[in-house]
Structure 1
Amino acid sequence: MTTAWGSRRKALKLGAAAAMGALVGPYVTKSAFAAEPIKLGSLLDGTGPLGLEGRRMIQTTEFAVNQLNAAGGLLGRQIQLIAYDTQSNIQLYTQYAQQLVFQQKVDVIQGGITSASREAIRPIFDRSKTLYFYNTQYEGGVCDRNVFCTGSTPAQTVDHIVDYALKHWGKKIYIVAADYNYGHITASWMTKFVKAGGGAVLGTDFFPLDVTDFSSTISRIQAAKPDVVLSALVGANHLGFYRQWAAAGMKSKIPVGSTVFGLGDELTTMDAATTDGILTCFGFYNNLPTPAAAAFVKGMQAKYGADVTDLGELDSATYEGIMLWAEGVKKAGSVAQDKVIAALESGIAIDGPSGHVKIDPETHATIRNAYLATPKNKAWDILQTFPNQMPSDTGGACNLIKSPRTNKQFTPSL
């Protein structure tokens, strides 16, 4: 495996190899195979506000590549991982994306966390004809033949949060969300699902990722008196909302459902009194009672330590994205972009940590299980399971088999 942690000043240090890469540029080891390696590029936030989610995704990428190489690689060739810490910085995303495709000439890109980072680099990969996997739970709607989105979409998860909230807690909703593409579009989906369920949205507030003080919005929520707060807040700074919500004595009065909470290490670093009862819905939880989920967690702990207890959908989707790509390469017998896309569009599926995951040919999203859960004493209490959820939000507008030249992101109409 080859790793290059890029940075304006210094790279994120994740071991001796990464540290050496920071000093002398891409750290290259000779391939264990005679053939030239297949190059997999990774762009993820190991530091900055999104480092909370990105650090485990980085480790999962290394874990998946190591597994493939230990099994003989692909097509008789080793996979060379070239990975940059984008430091939650969009400028670095575009800089490193161009380095990966034009200098390192990678065969595939796996990466991006926020929708803002995805939309900054997606055009670069389209122009360079470099296959791109976006392995993050997201707001849905991306319709681009060159892109495969393996994380869950609102129709697969957010709809279940809203449905549960309306049935169990009440019809009056207040929304708080991150002030960028993901937050705005997810808030629109929340509004659409709330209205479809006979509820009403009393107010919606958006916050930049660097905001840490939520006292004013908590006061507005108190004045509005909703039955439920729905959150699409993102990143380490926005965790302040949940702490301040509990400190204001609101946790016992108005329940909260979140589309993002728990994707990082919230359950291990925050008090149970703050986290217990927050409603979530994802494609994976670290205590799913399945052999595949247990094997994934144990494998990550064996490589990175027993303290790896915070794995979530971002990590399982990263692993599954790499494995779906690998199956596409095997079926295509090539790493060429068009051949791998055609193989993936044949309906390739894997059994991953989250369960059965299948590429939907029309949308390039995945058909996958979803699970509704809340934290309970620092562990996930799985409330419901929803098998084989279709990405119907994206599928309602996107059909890349009929219209392969489509290149846009569809958003909900309210």
Structure 2
Amino acid sequence: MFHSRSRLATGSVLVLTAALSLSACGGSKSGESSSAESCVDTSGDTIKLGFLNSTSGAMAISEQTVRDSLVMALEEINADGGILGKKIEPVVEDGASDPAVFAEKIEKLLTGDCVAAVFGGWTSASRKAMLPVVEADNGLLFYPVQYEGLEASKNIYYTGATTNQQIIPAMDFLKSKGVKTLFLAGSDYVFPRTANKIIKQYAKELGIEIVGEEYVPLDDDDWTTQVSKIVKAKPDFVFNTINGSSNVGFIKAYYEQGLSPETSPIISVSIAEEEAPAMGKDVTGQFAAWNYFQSVKSPTNEAFIKAFKAKYGDKRPTSDPMEAAYTSLYLYKALVEKADSFDVDKINAAADGVTFDAPEGTVTIDGENHHIAKTGLIGRINKDNQFDVVWSSDAPIEPDPFLKGYSWWDPSGE
């Protein structure tokens, strides 16, 4: 059964309220069909798809990489004959790092441009703003970024990690390193606060003490006061759930106040290969939890890296969110071809077990919750701003977005 537990973050109240009113309770149950009538035109030799990413605002540093990988996947698929013989015609929009804009733009894409599916979003606030719109319109959204879980929708496919594929493996890694104390630093919106609620409950189970918890607004780069509290607390590790350019201010304050990987190392869930060299400081020795690194060794990943660098230049690295976005377009192609249709309900009926040989490894869609099985990885940043893998799960981790398999989890707890 699908559930939607939306808690909209700050944004334009009027736009988001209008979006929410489109979908009573903000969610649809598995097997239910929306009354929304599709305007998707499949009569020609092209099919429209929407690319909705922030190319301006605080999230542009990260989301532009997702846009680039979607464009590359599109060109590859079109060169290979398209989807069901139809070339992809992209309709491109800027989410402007604003949840209200994402809600407005996805409505335009689905009902004005009549795209068959939308690919994009980064922050959980942007996803939650789009969720009631895409459900009311019975459209499809492919969301490529790790997130806090506790959500599933028949109208969204989640190709980034859910909590048990990134946050929980990161905590297991910290426990294996003998960590006793942990400080939580996050952006002040949905993902960090929900992720930290999960971290705090699992930390208690693992015997790890949380010695501080601080948040700064997503568009705020001043972490001076909050980092001074980290200095005073002297934690074994800092768990970083900061997103976007605010990471630059956090890293700046961290080093300027004398912290280092030798004293209180950081483990991040949003700093990847693209962001590491943009931090303004040498972040060698810091850690990150993802499900893909450029350093993953496989023929598929080598081909992916080669193609990306050929298109965008040797200095551009690959990273987890962009790989998940690239994978999402190929998964959509596989879904449509299995269903032999662009119809949303037929695609959903065919979804379970659809696979793709992705750069991160073979991924498989869970037809019940629309997440994919993913291998958990921990990497340590080296002098080249690449990640040396220091921990890996034994096999791809099956998605458990509602943490049903974890007895310590209490959704109503602190």
User: Structure 1-normalised TM-score?
Assistant: 0.84
- Where does residue 362 of structure 2 map in the other structure? 356
* Structure 1: distance between partners of 2:397 and 2:243: 24
Is 1:216–2:225 an aligned residue pair?
yes
Query: What SS does the aligned partner of 1:211 have?
Result: coil
Q: Deviations over 1:289-311 (max 9, x none)?
A: 111111111111111222212x2
* Structure 2: distance between partners of 1:76 and 1:413: 51
Q: CA deviation at 1:266?
A: 2.6
Q: Deviations over 1:131-179 (max 9, x none)?
A: 1111111111211111111101221111222222233252111101111
Q: CA deviation at 1:313?
A: 0.9
- Where does residue 115 of structure 1 map in the other structure? 124
- Where does residue 311 of structure 2 map in the other structure? 303
Is 1:321–2:328 an aligned residue pair?
yes
Alpha-carbon contact 1:41-1:106 (below 8 Å) kept: yes
Query: What SS does the aligned partner of 1:274 have?
Result: coil
My pick for the range that moved more, 84-93 or 100-109, is 84-93
Query: What SS does the aligned partner of 2:282 have?
Result: helix
| Counterpart pick for 2:388 among 359, 381, 402 | 381
* Structure 2: distance between partners of 1:336 and 1:411: 35
Which runs of no fewer than 5 residues in structure 2 stay unpaired? 1-41
* Structure 2: distance between partners of 1:270 and 1:176: 16
* Structure 1: distance between partners of 2:339 and 2:72: 24
Alpha-carbon contact 2:77-2:83 (below 8 Å) kept: yes
Alpha-carbon contact 1:50-1:235 (below 8 Å) kept: yes
The amino acid across from 2:197 in the alignment is: S
Quickly say closer, same or farther: Cα 1:169–1:213, change in 2 above 3 A.
farther
| Counterpart pick for 1:237 among 231, 234, 246 | 246
Query: What SS does the aligned partner of 1:88 have?
Result: coil
Is 1:43–2:49 an aligned residue pair?
no
| Counterpart pick for 1:394 among 394, 399, 402 | 402
Alpha-carbon contact 1:230-1:258 (below 8 Å) kept: yes
- Where does residue 138 of structure 2 map in the other structure? 129
Alpha-carbon contact 1:74-1:329 (below 8 Å) kept: yes
- Where does residue 275 of structure 1 map in the other structure? 283
| Counterpart pick for 1:365 among 362, 371, 374 | 371
Query: What SS does the aligned partner of 1:205 have?
Result: strand
My pick for the range that moved more, 37-46 or 158-167, is 158-167
* Structure 2: distance between partners of 1:129 and 1:258: 35
**Superposed counterparts of 1:196-211, under 5 Å:** 196-211=205-220
| Counterpart pick for 1:344 among 338, 348, 351 | 351
Alpha-carbon contact 1:154-1:393 (below 8 Å) kept: yes
- Where does residue 21 of structure 1 map in the other structure? none
* Structure 2: distance between partners of 1:371 and 1:316: 14
* Structure 1: distance between partners of 2:97 and 2:279: 22
- Where does residue 184 of structure 1 map in the other structure? 193
| Counterpart pick for 1:175 among 176, 184, 207 | 184
The amino acid across from 1:394 in the alignment is: F
Q: CA deviation at 1:247?
A: 1.9
* Structure 1: distance between partners of 2:121 and 2:411: 20
* Structure 2: distance between partners of 1:183 and 1:274: 24
| Counterpart pick for 1:249 among 245, 251, 258 | 258
- Where does residue 90 of structure 2 map in the other structure? 81
* Structure 1: distance between partners of 2:275 and 2:255: 14
Q: CA deviation at 1:217?
A: 1.1
Alpha-carbon contact 1:185-1:412 (below 8 Å) kept: no
Which runs of no fewer than 5 residues in structure 1 stay unpaired? 1-32, 398-409
* Structure 2: distance between partners of 1:412 and 1:348: 34
Aligned pair count reads 366
* Structure 2: distance between partners of 1:99 and 1:169: 51
Q: CA deviation at 1:100?
A: 0.6
* Structure 1: distance between partners of 2:43 and 2:354: 29
Query: What SS does the aligned partner of 2:350 have?
Result: helix
My pick for the range that moved more, 291-300 or 326-335, is 291-300
- Where does residue 36 of structure 2 map in the other structure? none
Superposed CA RMSD: 1.9
Alpha-carbon contact 2:228-2:257 (below 8 Å) kept: no
* Structure 1: distance between partners of 2:236 and 2:310: 44
Quickly say closer, same or farther: Cα 1:360–1:76, change in 2 above 3 A.
same
The amino acid across from 2:160 in the alignment is: G
Quickly say closer, same or farther: Cα 1:100–1:197, change in 2 above 3 A.
same
Q: CA deviation at 1:412?
A: 7.3
Q: CA deviation at 1:237?
A: 2.4
Which has more strand, going by share of residues? 1
Is 1:164–2:173 an aligned residue pair?
yes
- Where does residue 270 of structure 2 map in the other structure? 260
**Superposed counterparts of 1:92-111, under 5 Å:** 92-111=101-120
Query: What SS does the aligned partner of 1:49 have?
Result: coil
* Structure 1: distance between partners of 2:304 and 2:402: 29
Q: What is the identity percentage for the equivalent residue pairs of Structure 1 and Structure 2?
A: 26
Q: Deviations over 1:297-332 (max 9, x none)?
A: 1111111222212x2111010011111111010011
Q: CA deviation at 1:275?
A: 1.0
- Where does residue 28 of structure 1 map in the other structure? none
Is 1:145–2:154 an aligned residue pair?
yes
Query: What SS does the aligned partner of 1:268 have?
Result: helix
Query: What SS does the aligned partner of 2:321 have?
Result: helix
